[in-house]
Amino acid sequence: MPSARRVAVLGGVRIPFCRNNTAYHDVGNLGMSIKALGALVEKFGLHGETLGEVAMGAVLKHSSDWNIGREAALSSGLSPQTPGITMQRACGTSLDTVITVANKIALGQIEAGIGGGSDTTSDVPIAVNKRLRRRLLDANMARTFGQRLRAFKGFSFRELKPEFPGVGEPRTGKSMGEHCEMMAKEWKISREAQDQLAYESHTKAAQAYERGFYSDLVVPFRGVERDNILRPDTTLEKLATLKPAFDRTSGQGTLTAGNSTPLTDGASAALLASEEWAAAHGLEVQAYLVDAQVAAVDFVHGEGLLMAPCWAVAQLLKRNNLTLQDFDFYEIHEAFAAQVLCTLKAWEDPEFCRNKLGLEAPLGSIDRARLNVVGSSLALGHPFAATGARIVATAAKLLKEKGSGRALISICTAGGMGVAAILER
């Protein structure tokens, strides 16, 4: 087996992220994926190019979207000889697709590939009732008219009620927001601190748009030029007026629609390659994907559902002989402001780091001025499977602008998992 090669991040692109049931309500995952991939092909002049892999993902998808990665690749302008695969790890999906492509490049299996993802909560899969589904399947297998009739014996009109995707964790019945509300209470994260983080996210994202940071990262689609969740005029006073969104009865709820990400539609993609391939195609290396780590926690028996990035980052730092302070940029996905603040507080806590992470000393604090410096999910939105590739492209461009340095990526996911990665230039 060949030794690992350096994996170059050449850049990325995405469509504007939009609140669900607005601009992209009728597009669907495949349509958004095709637009994002096509824009990436256009940006890097890849028309007719055969890449080693296109790895895409989606969390909420129809059964007819059987392989979005391949179908989107076929409509993107790439050579039809480019293979495609579809993956899923909830909110970490497109960071995982990037990691998958990077690992193949590192091992010399491919020279270049694309990782990305899309998600829509406007066009969710709606299933028929389980009992009705069984009847339809039995009727389809029937050989005679009588057998088909018997399949519907005892039919009730209640069976026509459709089944929508659940928003709760199957093992607890609680939504991510409800779980994060529990985390906020456990770590004593105040409403004011959450609103402050949300305000900063909107402010920094608006400033980044104004200075042109997103001009080559976001391509117009459906008449939208920038994320329609972004509120440049938001204030702490406006955020303070919002009512709790998940704990509405105890009087102690702190998570609101303002300090939590809204349901979002969108797609993103990032191009990775070997240094040799990049040089041969005249493309600049923005950064290198150095390493990545996935971790999981037992949220059913007491750990916070969205705390797994604490473990992923700790393991990643140890393997690379780095400290938490050895970074110029921290891109921590803002699923909820409380999740980010719980993570930061846990890294500073000696008891947590000793008893949970097995460390002799706490990881410590970070320079908050380096955190999500061009805004993040609270301001830009969070199409589940598109967030990872958005963050990779953002971190790579930040490192390119600086000319050197290191970036840490951390993403929490449903199911009690976390994904972390290191980029450097």
pLDDT digits (tens, 9 = 90+) for 277-295: 999 999 999 999 999 999 9
Contact 337, 257 (CB under 8 A): no
Name the β-bridge partners of 387: none
* Separation between Cα atoms, residue 285 and residue 275, nearest integer Å: 8
Quick one: three-class SS letters along the chain? CCCCCCEEEEEEEECCCEECCCCCCCCHHHHHHHHHHHHHHHHHCCCCCCCCEEEEECCCCCCCCCCHHHHHHHCCCCCCCCCEEEECECECHHHHHHHHHHHHHHCCCCCEEEEEEEECCCCCCCECCHHHHHHHHHHHHCCCHHHHHHCCCCCCHHHHCCECCCCECCCCCCEHHHHHHHHHHHCCCCHHHHHHHHHHHHHHHHHHHHCCCCCCCECCECCECCCCCCCCCCCHHHHHCCCECCCCCCCCCCCECCCECCEEEEEEEEEEEEHHHHHHCCCCCCEEEEEEEEEECCHHHCCCCCCHHHHHHHHHHHHCCCCCCCCCEEEECCCEHHHHHHHHHHHHCHHHHHHCCCCCCCCCCCCHHHECCCCCHHHHCECHHHHHHHHHHHHHHHHHHHCCCEEEEEEEECCCEEEEEEEEC
Interval 74-122: pLDDT, tens: 999 999 999 999 999 999 999 999 999 999 999 999 999 999 999 999 9
Sketch out the chain's domains with CATH numbers.
Answer: 176-212+290-424 (3.40.47.10)
Measured CA distances, 109 to 96, 104, 106, 125 (Å): 17, 5, 8, 35
The pLDDT of residue 2: 58
Parts of the chain with a pLDDT under 70: 1-3
Catalytic residues, which ones? 91, 382, 412
The pLDDT assigned to 66 comes to: 83
Query: pTM for the complete prediction?
Result: 0.94
